[in-house]
């Protein structure tokens, strides 16, 4: 159940340590964002809606890589729980993002367990990019620079690398927060993300467009 190393979905447990390390990066909006979070916790619907609009696309893209086409359903489950437990969440906006991601991930893992099948990581690539090798997917990603194509390429990575890259790039967590979501050490998550980037870079290189093709 609690595969995320014991800090489950309860805001009380996970709330304490969910604090920001990056708030200075968003100094200008930090205050208002915190205000929005506080208002949402106080029951303000508009505030909750802004939280949803900020976080949902991130969760959905992350979930897409974990559960493929079931991402929407899993995200809905996650939001039910987020809405229910928001009152007991303690932390700032960055913390909220990590907390919500943890909930989404736990729901995704539950879902996978129920389905009794392995993560759809590889299936996703094929779903989105037809029967194609990584090179073609990479080419599509470069050509259209489409979000789906990019996600599909990332989804083709080994799962730990894909998760690490997505949590950092798409969800916007720092290494420590991502590690907390994954129940791993920050160093391990950093390494996985770096490996993922190198693999992606190699795939992009391999799919270099025709033209001034580099030697070799």
Partner 1 sequence: MSTHRSRRIGRRTAERLLRDAPGHAQVTGHDRLGDLLAAAAAPARDRELTGEHAAMAAFRDARLAPAPQRRRPRMLKIALANLVTVKIAAVAAAAAGGIALAAAAGTLPGQQREEPAPAADTDVVATTSVTTTEKSKAPDKKPDNSASPSPSLHGLCQAYTARAEHGKAHENPALSALITAAGGPDQVPAFCADLLGDKPGKPDAPGKPDTPGKSDQAPGKPSRSNR
Rounded to 5°, the CA angle 206-208-213 comes to 110
Q: 164: closest CA among 142, 206, 141, 194?
A: 194
Q: Which residues of 4-40 are buried (b: 16+ CB within 10 A; e: fewer)?
A: beebebebeebbeebebeebeeeeeebeebbebbebb
- Check if the beta carbon of residue 69 is closer than 8 Å to that of residue 127: yes
Considering the rule CB under 8 A, would residue 49 count as an interface residue with partner 1? Answer: yes
Regarding 185 and contact with partner 1 (CB under 8 A), the answer is: no
Taking contact as CB under 8 A, which single stretch among the options 28-36, 94-102, 116-124, 148-156 is the one that binds partner 1? Answer: 148-156
84 lines the binding site for partner 1 (CB under 8 A): yes
Which positions from 157 through 176 interact with partner 1, judged by CB under 8 A?
Answer: 165-166, 168-170, 172, 174
Nearest distance from residue 201's CB to partner 1, in Å? 4
**Under rule CB under 8 A, residue 76 binds partner 1:** yes
Task: Restricting to residues 4-23, name those near partner 1 by CB under 8 A.
Answer: 12
Q: Exposed, middle or buried by CB within 10 Å (0-12, 13-18, 19+), for 126? A: middle
**Binding residue for partner 1, selected from 33, 153, 177, 182, defined by CB under 8 A:** 153
Closer CB to partner 1, 66 or 116, in the complex: 66
Contact 141, 152 (CB under 8 A): yes
Q: Report, in Å, the least distance between residue 12 CB and partner 1.
A: 8
What is the rounded distance in angstroms from the CA atom of residue 196 to the CA atom of residue 204? 12
| Phi-psi region at 214: left, alpha or beta (left = phi > 0; alpha = psi -120 to 50) | beta
Neighbours of 160 (CB within 10 A): 17
CB of 117 to partner 1, least distance (A): 24
- Residue 109 or residue 152: which is nearer to partner 1 going by CB? 152
Residue span binding partner 1 (CB under 8 A) among the ranges 48-56, 92-100, 102-110, 121-129: 48-56
Q: Does residue 107 belong to the site contacting partner 1 (CB under 8 A)?
A: no
Is residue 187 close enough to count as binding partner 1 by CB under 8 A? no
* CA gap 110, 122 in Å, rounded: 19
> Site residues (CB under 8 A) for partner 1?
12, 43, 45, 48-49, 52-53, 56-57, 60-61, 72, 75-76, 79-80, 82-84, 86-88, 141-142, 145-147, 149-151, 153-154, 165-166, 168-170, 172, 174, 190, 193-194, 197-198, 200-202, 204-205, 208-209, 212-215
């Amino acid at each position: 159940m609690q595969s995320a190393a014991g800090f489950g979905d309860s805001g009380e447990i996970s709330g304490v340590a969910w604090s920001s390390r990056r708030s200075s990066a968003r100094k200008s909006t930090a205050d208002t964002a915190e205000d929005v979070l506080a208002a949402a916790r106080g029951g303000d619907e508009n505030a909750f809606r802004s939280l949803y609009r900020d976080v949902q696309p991130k969760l959905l893209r992350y979930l897409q890589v974990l559960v493929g086409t079931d991402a929407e359903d899993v995200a809905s489950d996650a939001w039910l729980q987020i809405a229910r437990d928001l009152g007991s969440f303690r932390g700032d906006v960055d913390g909220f993002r990590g907390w919500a991601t943890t909930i989404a991930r736990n729901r995704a893992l539950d879902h996978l367990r129920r389905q009794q099948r392995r993560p759809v990581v590889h299936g996703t690539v094929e779903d989105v990019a037809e029967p194609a090798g990584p090179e073609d997917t990479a080419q599509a990603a470069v050509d259209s620079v489409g979000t789906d194509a990019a996600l599909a390429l990332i989804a083709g990575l080994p799962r730990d690398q894909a998760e690490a890259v997505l949590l950092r790039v798409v969800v916007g967590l720092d290494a420590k927060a991502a590690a907390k979501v994954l129940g791993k050490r920050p160093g391990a998550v950093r390494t996985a993300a770096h490996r993922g980037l190198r693999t992606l870079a190699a795939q992009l290189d391999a799919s270099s467009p025709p033209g001034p093709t580099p030697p070799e």
